[in-house]
């Protein structure tokens, strides 16, 4: 019997294989004989062309026949090998089952060992840095620091005491990283920066992200200031244009409230973004007031934006009407006042 671990030729006297050399020798001899019969050459005329075509056809026929003999012989060998392979596979099945069982048991043992190692490290983590436990899972620390070259906290070859010491060092590094983030990030971005750091355990990346957020926020602020300045300039220009067109209007500031001034007391403020249904309800409510007079109701249809209806309701003589309007709506309101003999000095205030 062969020594364990060395290859052994079980039986070299297998009939199909034993005849393989004879088959190869026979085919070689026949091929050489055929090669002597045929001589391809340069074709010089039409008769030579016809003869060469016939010679090639004859040669191909002989080649096919010889290959057929070879194929038949090889089929016998392949069938014998295939059958032997199946039988040997069946014979080795019990050994394959033993190997698979060893593999399962070893994997289960590795899994139990890893769970025990992880539980030991988790227990140390809970005691050493309880404040950090809710923020950074032990798995994230192992992935970041325990798999570095030469670390191998979760390897059997690494002593548990060595792994514990390395874990404490890693926790100290995280604490140092948190202090670096605090020293380099402003209060407005600190919470987000710490969240980034505890997720990645990379204080440099967390600081860079915080700087990028601050820069973006500053850019948004500048754009917003520019937008407000542009809008203020446009409103001022519109208000000035209205004032220039109507001397009765005094532009005191750039705002959104219109006063019909020089009247002692306010009556009603009903400008809104009412729908048609809301408008009807408001009109009905105003109509029920004791001092309501139908001839004093005024309506303006406003097509600007989403504001659909403007309702003005007042008693005669008009004392003061306070409305929240935009500069471009002022001219329309002035026209309504003029058409209804409502005069007086109007001003806009910021």
pLDDT averaged over consecutive 10-residue blocks of the chain (350 residues)?
52 60 84 88 90 91 85 83 90 92 94 95 95 94 90 91 95 95 92 93 94 92 90 75 57 40 34 51 53 41 37 44 55 56 48
CA 51, chain centre distance (Å): 73
In a domain, 2, yes or no: no
The answer to whether the beta carbons of residues 181 and 206 sit under 8 Å apart is: yes
Nearest-Å Rg of the Cα atoms of the chain is 49
End-to-end CA distance of the chain: 109
CB-count exposure of residue 321 (10 Å: 0-12, 13-18, 19+): buried
Do 252 and 213 reside in the same domain of the chain? Answer: no
Same domain, 280 and 345: yes
- Among 27, 100, 98, 108, CA closest to 66: 27
Final residue of a structural domain among 201, 221, 245: 245
- Are 274 and 334 part of one and the same domain? yes
**Per-residue tokens: 167:** 């874990």
Q: Domain for residue 4, yes or no?
A: no
Residues 95 and 146 placed together within one structural domain of the fold: no
Residue 125 within a domain = no
To which H or E segment does residue 348 belong? Answer: strand 346-349
State which H helix or E strand residue 297 sits in. strand 297-301
The SS3 call for residue 303 is: coil
Q: In this structure, are 92 and 37 located in the same domain? A: yes
Is 278 found in the same domain as 218? no
pLDDT at 138: 95
Residue 126 within a domain? no
pLDDT for the residue 298: 39
Q: Tell me, yes or no, whether 219 and 317 share the same domain.
A: no
One domain for residues 314 and 220 = no
Contact (Cβ atoms closer than 8 angstroms) between residue 255 and residue 348? yes
**Residue 241 sits in the same domain as residue 251:** no
The dihedral region occupied by 115, where left means phi > 0, alpha psi between -120 and 50, and beta the remainder, is alpha
Task: Look at residues 56, 86, 117 and tell me which one is the last residue of a structural domain.
Answer: 117
List C-alpha distances in Å: 183 to 127, 190, 208, 209: 27, 10, 13, 15
The reply to whether 229 and 272 lie within a common domain is no
Look up the pTM and report it.
0.49
Query: Is residue 49 domain-shared with residue 27, that is, in the same domain?
Result: yes
- Let me know the angle formed at the C-alpha of 340 by 248 and 266, rounded to the nearest 5 degrees: 70
Residue 122 in any domain: the answer is no
Instruction: Please report whether residue 102 resides in a domain.
Output: yes
* 16 touches 80 (CB < 8 A): yes
Phi-psi region of 63 (alpha: psi -120 to 50; beta: other; left: phi over 0): alpha
Is the residue at 76 inside a domain? yes
Domain ranges, residue 286: 247-349
- Strands 249-251 vs 257-260: parallel, antiparallel or unpaired: unpaired
Domain shared by 180 and 151, yes or no: yes
Domain boundary among 117, 146, 162: 117
Q: Considering its fold, how many domains does the chain have in total?
A: 3
pLDDT of residue 317: 45
Q: For residues 198 and 140, is the Cβ–Cβ distance under 8 A?
A: no
State which H helix or E strand residue 349 sits in: strand 346-349
State how far the alpha carbon of 299 is from the alpha carbons of 149, 283, 309, 329, 336, in Å.
81, 10, 8, 14, 9
Q: Is residue 234 part of a domain?
A: yes
What 3-state class would DSSP assign to 312?
A: strand
């Amino acid at each position: 019997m062969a020594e364990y671990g060395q290859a052994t030729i079980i039986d070299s006297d297998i009939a199909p294989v034993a005849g393989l050399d004879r088959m190869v020798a026979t085919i070689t001899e026949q091929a050489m004989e055929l090669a002597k019969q045929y001589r391809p050459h340069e074709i010089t005329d039409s008769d030579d062309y016809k003869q060469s075509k016939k010679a090639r056809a004859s040669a191909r026929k002989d080649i096919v026949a010889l290959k057929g003999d070879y194929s038949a012989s090889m089929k016998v060998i392949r069938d014998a090998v295939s059958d032997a392979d199946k039988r040997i596979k069946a014979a080795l099945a019990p050994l394959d089952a033993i190997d698979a069982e060893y593999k399962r048991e070893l994997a289960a043992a590795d899994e139990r060992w890893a769970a025990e190692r992880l539980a030991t490290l988790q227990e140390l983590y809970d005691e050493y840095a309880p404040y950090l436990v809710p923020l950074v899972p032990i798995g994230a620390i192992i992935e970041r620091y325990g798999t570095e070259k030469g670390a191998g906290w979760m390897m059997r070859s690494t002593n548990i005491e060595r792994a514990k010491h390395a874990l404490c060092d890693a926790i100290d590094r995280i604490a140092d990283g948190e202090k670096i983030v605090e020293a380099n990030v402003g209060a407005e971005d600190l919470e987000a920066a710490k969240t980034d750091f505890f997720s990645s355990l990379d204080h440099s990346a967390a600081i860079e992200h915080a700087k990028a957020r601050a820069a973006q926020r500053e850019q948004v602020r500048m754009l917003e200031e520019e937008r407000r300045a542009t809008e203020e300039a446009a409103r001022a220009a519109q208000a000035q244009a209205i004032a220039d067109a109507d001397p009765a209007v005094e532009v005191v500031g750039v705002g959104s409230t219109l006063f019909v001034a020089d009247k002692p007391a306010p009556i009603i403020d009903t400008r809104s973004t009412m729908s048609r249904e809301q408008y009807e309800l408001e009109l009905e409510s105003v109509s029920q007031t004791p001092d309501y007079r139908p001839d004093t109701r005024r309506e303006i249809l406003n097509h600007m934006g989403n504001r659909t209806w403007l309702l003005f309701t007042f008693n005669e003589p008009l004392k003061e009407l306070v409305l929240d309007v935009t500069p471009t709506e002022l001219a329309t309101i002035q026209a309504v006042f003029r058409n209804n003999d409502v005069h007086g000095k109007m001003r806009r205030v910021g």
